[in-house]
Amino acid sequence: MSNFIPLQELLSVPDWYKDGECQKHDQDLFFPDRGGSTVKAKAICNSCKVKEVCLEFAVERKERFGIWGGKSERERRAIRKEQRLQTES
């Protein structure tokens, strides 16, 4: 019996996640070690049909780890900052 827990279940992500291109690839690509390459994961995200909703989900959830919607945590933080600035002005 396998101890494998699907990432979707582990992270409690919504149904659309099962349609993500990442489901066809090694999930470690999307959660690189610090300083690891994100190029391949971002390229996969860029061909994903749920990219927009994925990014919105990760930004709203303040997801701290991994590549979601083609963006790293740092890039998502910048998006949140930009959104804050827009609502303040």
Task: Output the six-digit token pair for 71.
Answer: 């963006």
Beta carbon nearer to ligand SF4, 50 or 59? 50
CB 65 within 8 A of CB 31: yes
Asked if residue 29 binds ligand SF4 (CB under 6 A), the reply is no
CB of 40 to ligand SF4, least distance (A): 11
Residues from 35 through 74 that contact ligand SF4 (CB under 6 A): 44-45, 48, 50-51, 54, 67-70
Residue of 7, 8, 21, 31 that binds ligand SF4 (CB under 6 A) = 21
> Judged by CB under 6 A, how many residues of this single chain contact ligand SF4?
15
Q: Is 48 left (phi over 0), alpha (psi -120 to 50) or beta?
A: beta
> How far, CA to CA in Å, does 22 sit from each of 59, 63, 67?
18, 17, 10
Q: Which residue has the tokens 């349609």?
A: 19
Interface residues with ligand SF4 (CB under 6 A) are 17, 20-22, 30, 44-45, 48, 50-51, 54, 67-70
